[in-house]
Amino acid sequence: MGDLKWYALQTYSGHENKVQKNLEKLVQQRKLEEKISQVRIPTMEVAEMKNGKKKVTKKKLMPGYVLVEMDMDEDLRFMIQSLPSVSTFVGSKDGGPEPLSVDEVKNLFAETGEFQSEEPVTPRLLFKVGDSLKIIDGPFANFTGVVDEIFPDKGRLRVKVEIFGRSTPVELDYLQVKTEP
């Protein structure tokens, strides 16, 4: 194994997956496994509410970039930069592209949850008891309520909602509510 470092490859926006596939094909066809070890598109899982259901989608952290762990040389650089939808390596200097620092790589993959950090990630508490909220999803959408209890480990909260003149507790997901301005 040579000197593997991570490089950021700039691609046409929206073509990241295509570039990743083409690069992986190139590695297979040219037997470049020793030179190119990984091709990644940094993504982050984003949860959102759609029709009362929590949907987790992958969102690109850096649209227009693909990360390549490789042992860089002129031939390889030329080969990769001549692939369709590829623009250039980031940080190209006279001596060729600059690799990403270990910290940059750690930060990128920490965002995506791929580098495990020691501290468990606790959801940031966006609400506190007594806050007035607007319900934005589910059967109670457009109602307002007051936070009664918070269950941070579940990502849920109990909100008292005024229904037919009576205060009724409703349990909701964090994503179903937003704080009233």
Q: Give the Cα separation of 140 and 61 in Å (integer).
A: 33
pLDDT score of 111: 62
Tell me which fold the domain 131-179 belongs to: SH3 type barrels. (2.30.30)
Locate CATH 2.30.30.30 in the chain.
131-179
Q: Give the Cα separation of 151 and 143 in Å (integer).
A: 21
Locate CATH 3.30.70.940 in the chain.
5-112
User: Is the per-residue pLDDT at 2 higher than 90?
Assistant: no
Q: Give the Cα separation of 100 and 86 in Å (integer).
A: 18
**CB of 50 closer than 8 Å to CB of 173:** no
Q: What is the pLDDT of residues 120-152, one digit of tens each?
A: 344 455 678 999 999 888 888 898 999 999 887
**Averaged confidence pLDDT in the chain:** 83
pLDDT score of 118: 38
Q: Is 44 helix (H, G, I), strand (E, B) or coil?
A: strand
Mean pLDDT across the stretch 147-158? 86
Tell me which fold the domain 5-112 belongs to: Alpha-Beta Plaits (3.30.70)
Other C-beta atoms closer than 10 Å to the C-beta of 178 total 14
pTM of the model: 0.60
Mean pLDDT across the stretch 16-27? 96
Q: What is the pLDDT of residues 60-88, one digit of tens each?
A: 778 889 999 999 998 999 999 999 999 99
